[in-house]
Amino acid sequence: MENTGYRNFGQKLAMHTAPTLLGIKCASLLSLRIESEEVCDYSAYFNYRVSAKGLKSRILCSCRSHTLLLVYHEKLLTARLADRSARKVLENSGYASDWSLEECLSFLAQRIQCSSEFPHEIGIFLGYPTEDVLGFIANHGDNYKFCGCWKVYGCEESAKRTFANYEKCRKFLCNKLNEGADLYQALKLS
């Protein structure tokens, strides 16, 4: 499957999902301007290659110009969704308390496709601190303390450390690809 299109896909994954690929973030969301058929093929191949690492990708939504792809670490995301405060946010958004990861992801995809407003509980899936997700919802995205990878309403210093770690992951993975490795070599899967 190693072609120019797939290599570009790998570079986009490295740039936008590196913290998830390297295991320090439970999930990342990527908006792609690629034919949805190609994204399906690339996603299936990605899932095949990275399954041993517990990584997965899932298309949440496709329209004429964009495809939203969630890349996630299954164990980390399952643990995140089991967190009591995170689960409460999801329950307040219509998720059942006993739903599996797969059921939660299906409902999230449905909410993205069918809602007139983007479902802000997605921050829970992306590993954002619960207080920041709640702050964003309550303030309609305004009145935040700091903005980086997300809008911070809680502990600014902790968020800045997290953002710096995410940036280190991006630089590491992108440098590996720039040196000629493919995504799977960089992840030590080949």
Question: What is each CA distance from 85 to 44, 88, 140, in whole angstroms?
Answer: 32, 5, 20
Spatial separation of the C-alpha atoms in residues 72 and 116, rounded to whole Å: 25
Residue 172 has a CB neighbour count (10 Å cut-off) of 13
DSSP states of 76-111 as a string?
A: HHHHHHHSHHHHHHHHHTT--TT--HHHHHHHHHHH
Contact 105, 58 (CB under 8 A): yes
Spatial separation of the C-alpha atoms in residues 48 and 100, rounded to whole Å: 22
Q: pLDDT confidence of 152, banded at 50, 70, 90? A: very high
Q: What is the pTM of this model?
A: 0.93
Computed over every residue of the chain, the mean pLDDT equals 93
Q: What are the tens digits of pLDDT across the range 10-22?
A: 999 999 999 999 9
Helix (H, G, I), strand (E, B) or coil at 46: helix
Spatial separation of the C-alpha atoms in residues 19 and 26, rounded to whole Å: 8
- Per-residue pLDDT at 175 exceeds 90: yes
Contact 73, 55 (CB under 8 A): yes
Do the bridges between strand 67-73 and strand 55-62 make them parallel or antiparallel, or are there none, so unpaired? antiparallel
Q: What are the tens digits of pLDDT across the range 63-111?
A: 777 899 999 999 999 999 999 999 999 999 999 999 999 999 999 999 9
Give the torsion through C-alpha atoms of 90, 91, 96, 100, to 10 deg: 30
What token pair was written down for 34? 């690629």
